[in-house]
């Protein structure tokens, strides 16, 4: 719908004028101004939440990059030797999913012999090789954090921050609007109780012919 953005812009301008008390309409009630103020405050809150989410994501990205950069020099890629045939650990394999376990050994640094059971994505026969990562002392380690992992962690931190703050803002706005709607309904009922007799003419009519019985 081509006119939807324009209608939305006009609606928000109307809310802004109403919240500031600059609306000229005689039908604008205090509860309407309060509702507009609540919507505008919620919008500002969402903008602030987006900024805080971006800041949290940037902070997480910088932290993960520093951690990965500090760990990278102390991680070493080796080809371990399989001591036995690999054992299947899952009924089906998918790309990048560990489907087998195999016992391997390796030497790192020179003179230090290690043995462990590691996960691999394909069958490995005895004497075959398996990719592993080890620390400076030769202990088994996880692979270095990839750029994709770092970006995903940062995006998750930013979205979690924004989502949590947005949820709080949404709950607060919902409670406020519910209270205002209840107030508006009560005010309408009180006003109608005063206006209805005049509006319908009940106060101007006298008793009808059937209202009194002859004695």
At residue 215, the pLDDT reads 38
User: For 106-150, what is each residue's pLDDT tens digit?
Assistant: 999 998 999 999 998 888 999 999 999 999 999 999 999 999 999
At residue 1, the pLDDT reads 45
At residue 96, the pLDDT reads 56
At residue 34, the pLDDT reads 84
Packed helices 147-200 and 30-71: angle between N→C axes, nearest 10 degrees: 170
At residue 197, the pLDDT reads 72
At residue 98, the pLDDT reads 67
At residue 187, the pLDDT reads 74
User: Does residue 46 register a pLDDT over 80?
Assistant: yes
Residue 144 · residue 71 · CB < 8 Å: yes
Largest CA distance in the chain: 126
pTM score, whole prediction: 0.69
Q: How much of the chain exceeds pLDDT 90, in percent?
A: 52
> Phi, psi at residue 77, to the nearest 5°?
-90, 125
User: Does residue 175 register a pLDDT over 80?
Assistant: yes
User: For 75-100, what is each residue's pLDDT tens digit?
Assistant: 999 999 999 888 888 765 555 566 89
Domain ranges in the chain are 11-68+149-181, 76-143
Average pLDDT of every residue of the chain: 83
| Higher local confidence (pLDDT), 194 or 176 | 176
Distances (CA, A) of 8 to 1, 5, 169: 12, 5, 21
pLDDT interval class at 15 (50, 70, 90): low
């Amino acid at each position: 719908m081509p006119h939807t953005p324009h209608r939305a812009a006009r609606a928000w301008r109307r809310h802004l004028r109403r919240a500031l008390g600059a609306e000229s309409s005689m039908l604008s009630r205090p509860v309407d101004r309060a509702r507009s103020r609540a919507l505008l405050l919620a919008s500002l809150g969402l903008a602030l939440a987006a900024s805080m989410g971006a800041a949290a994501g940037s902070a997480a990205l910088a932290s993960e990059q520093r951690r990965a950069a500090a760990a990278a020099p102390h991680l070493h890629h080796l080809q371990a030797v399989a001591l036995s045939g690999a054992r299947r650990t899952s009924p089906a394999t998918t790309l990048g999913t560990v489907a087998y376990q195999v016992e391997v050994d390796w030497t790192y640094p020179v003179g230090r012999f290690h043995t462990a059971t590691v996960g691999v994505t394909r069958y490995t026969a005895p004497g075959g090789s398996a990719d592993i990562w080890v620390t400076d002392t030769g202990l088994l380690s996880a692979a270095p954090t990839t750029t994709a992992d770092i970006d995903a962690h940062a995006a998750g931190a930013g979205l979690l921050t924004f989502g949590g703050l947005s949820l709080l803002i949404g709950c607060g706005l919902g409670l406020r609007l519910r209270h205002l709607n209840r107030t508006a309904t009560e005010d309408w009922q009180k006003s109608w109780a005063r206006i209805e007799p005049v509006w319908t003419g009940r106060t101007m009519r006298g008793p009808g012919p059937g209202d009194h019985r002859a004695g």
